[in-house]
Amino acid sequence: MTELGPFRVNKDGSTLWLNPYAWNTVANVLFLESPAGVGFSYSNTSSDYITGDTKTAADSYTFLVNWLERFPEYKTRDFLITGESYAGHYVPQLAQLILHNNEITNQTVINLKGIAIGNPYVDIETQGSGTYDYYWTHALISDEIHQGIFSNCNFSSGNTSDACQTYEDQADSAIGNIDYYNIYAPLCSSSSNTPTTISEFDPCSDHYVYTYLNTPQVQKSLHANTTVIPGPWDPCNDYIHLNWDDEPDTVLPTIKELTESGISVWIYSGDTDSVCSVTTTKFALNKLGLSVKTPWYAWYTQGEVGGYAVEYENLTFVTVRGAGHFVPSYQPSRALTLFSSFLAGKLPPSN
């Protein structure tokens, strides 16, 4: 309701407006609240909330198989998976599980054709080094802090020394009060009645959605929260976060396996996000050692540069200009062009 869905919530928190750039204008879109316990999803078994990467993939796979059995008319359709941020783990792991299980006799075959992950968290080492390089190259921290971090921090080991922690704290302090997910966007607390970002995305949208989805009549209409979940609906579940028990340091081997499987693998990156930055993603891609098939070029939509793209052997990387962590929020038109290109199996348009 703040990104790629068909509806956005108005400031009143009770009415909706249509998103003309919704992704369901070009594909059938199925949203899955995962892992169990996030959003309105729930389990009657408390141990299901002690979860991690492996269980999340298994639960998502079980859901998809059951869903296809219930709606068999979709069994032969092309199936693609997208996600952002920590879905840099979820999506490749689910895709891998699908491909492995498709080889099992008498197993429901899911017609997986491709995956696309946006501003993904995929590798702990490049997450560290890429983040601080992004801060420095975007004038968020000083030369001295940048040098201090790279002289004292060993991102490959995962161990943080006292000196490293000191410089990291200095970086956080130096950056100040900005939206790390979109470094050039206004904060909700400082927004006026008229949004000031390029795409006119209202930075207070999360608050409108919170109000809307916690309205009893809305929940009743959605057939949601029928078990009366304790506490309000919330976009993040901290209990699940604190009880995560399975998180590999890198999913690059999984992504490499997918690139060799024959399915389409796309990674896209809004270039104003500092949380899972374009620099972080480029560093991670370099570790895959893929050869370039189509060199880096500017792609266009609505007469403007939408971003930049490079096609590697069996993997496509696309940036979205002026987009933060949540690409369809900040650049909905460019995001839809990107998504449409992914669906068509074609590179984003070069003119």
What is the reported pTM? 0.94
The mean pLDDT value for 341-347 works out to 97
What's the CA gap between 255 and 259, in Å, rounded? 6
**pLDDT(199) > 80:** no
The first and second tokens of residue 19, run together, are: 């998103």
CB of 277 closer than 8 Å to CB of 324: no
Written as one string, the DSSP assignment of 82-143 is EEETTHHHHHHHHHHHHHHHHTSTTSPPP-EEEEEEES---BHHHHHHHHHHHHHHTTSS-H
Which CATH superfamily hosts domain 7-137+192-344? Alpha/Beta hydrolase fold, catalytic domain (3.40.50.1820)
What would the two tokens of residue 250 be?
């890198």
Assess whether pLDDT exceeds 60 at residue 264: yes
What local confidence, expressed as pLDDT, does residue 196 receive? 47
Q: Is 60 exposed, middle or buried (0-12, 13-18, 19+ CB in 10 A)?
A: buried
Q: For the chain, which residues make up each domain, given as ranges?
A: 7-137+192-344
pLDDT tens digit string along 267-324? 999 999 999 999 999 999 999 999 999 999 999 999 999 999 999 999 999 999 999 9
pLDDT tens readout for residues 18-74:
999 999 999 999 999 999 889 898 888 888 888 899 999 999 999 999 999 999 999
Given this model, what pLDDT does residue 124 score? 94
Report helix, strand or coil for 292: strand
Per-residue pLDDT reduced to its tens digit, 208-252? 999 999 999 999 999 998 888 778 998 888 888 888 888 899 999
Q: Provide Rg for the chain, Cα atoms.
A: 21
Per-residue pLDDT at 260 exceeds 60: yes
Which amino acid type is present at position 249? D
Tokens of 265: 């693998």
Q: What share of the chain is helix, strand, coil (3-state, %, to 5)?
A: 40, 15, 45
Please, which pLDDT band fits residue 190 given cuts at 50, 70 and 90?
low
Mean pLDDT calculated for residue range 130-146: 97
> Which residues form the catalytic set?
85, 273, 325
194: confidence class by pLDDT, cuts 50, 70, 90? low
- Cβ pair 309, 337 in contact under 8 A: no
Give the tens place of pLDDT for each residue, 78-110.
999 999 999 999 999 999 999 999 999 778 899
Peptide bond into 35 cis (omega under 30): yes
